[in-house]
Amino acid sequence: MNAPEQSLQRLATLQRLAAQQEDQAARQLAEALSRHGNAADRHTELVQYEIEYAARTPNASGVLALSRHAGFLSKLRDALKFQHDRVQQLGLEVDRARARWVGLHREVEKLEQLGEVARREMLAADSRRQSRELDELAQRGWVRQQQVAG
């Protein structure tokens, strides 16, 4: 195996490894998007429940009933705040995962371009070599004809 072929083989190995990393990053991005979507759905459900619960009036009258209603509403709002923060945190994870995938995707594309350029250069060099060999054969044939004729 000559040096250009070894270089192409090494480049192909790098491309394969980069593609595997890109695939893993894509799976991680999909998982992050799923977690974010689920958390956002839970947040939406909590918002809806908070709206419905806040609109209700306690079944029983009195200070104790109002206190329990207000206490539960306070806990529900704490849960909403927690879930909102969780959605924000997961959104940042999605951004990081997306940035990682984009970077790896660009790397794969660059390696593919390098491979294509290297293959074209190798084909051009091979074509020039074959052309030189044909020219040499033709020249030898011509010299032999001149020797036979002379």
> Which domains, and CATH codes, for the chain?
3-149 (1.10.287.1700)
Contact 91, 39 (CB under 8 A): no
Dist CA 1 CA 11 (whole Å): 15
DSSP 8-state class, residue 76: H
pLDDT of residue 62: 86
Average pLDDT over residues 24-45: 98
pLDDT level of residue 25 (50, 70, 90 thresholds): very high
Reported residue count of the chain is 150
pLDDT of residue 150: 65
- Taking CA atoms, 57 is separated from 38, 48, 51, 106, in Å, by 30, 16, 12, 57
pLDDT of residue 109: 95
Query: Please, is 33 exposed, middle or buried when counting C-beta atoms within 10 Å of its C-beta (0-12, 13-18, 19+)?
Result: middle
Q: Supply 63's token pair.
A: 């200070």
Question: In the predicted model, is pLDDT for residue 47 greater than 80?
Answer: yes
Dist CA 93 CA 85 (whole Å): 12
Choice between 56 and 71, residue whose per-residue pLDDT is larger: 71
Question: In the predicted model, is pLDDT for residue 7 greater than 70?
Answer: yes
Residue 62, sorted as left (phi over 0), alpha (psi -120 to 50) or beta, turns out to be left
Dist CA 129 CA 123 (whole Å): 10
Each residue of 83-138: pLDDT tens digit?
Answer: 999 999 999 999 999 999 999 999 999 999 998 988 898 889 889 999 998 988 88
* Residue 130 host element (H or E): helix 63-149
Average pLDDT over residues 51-56: 90
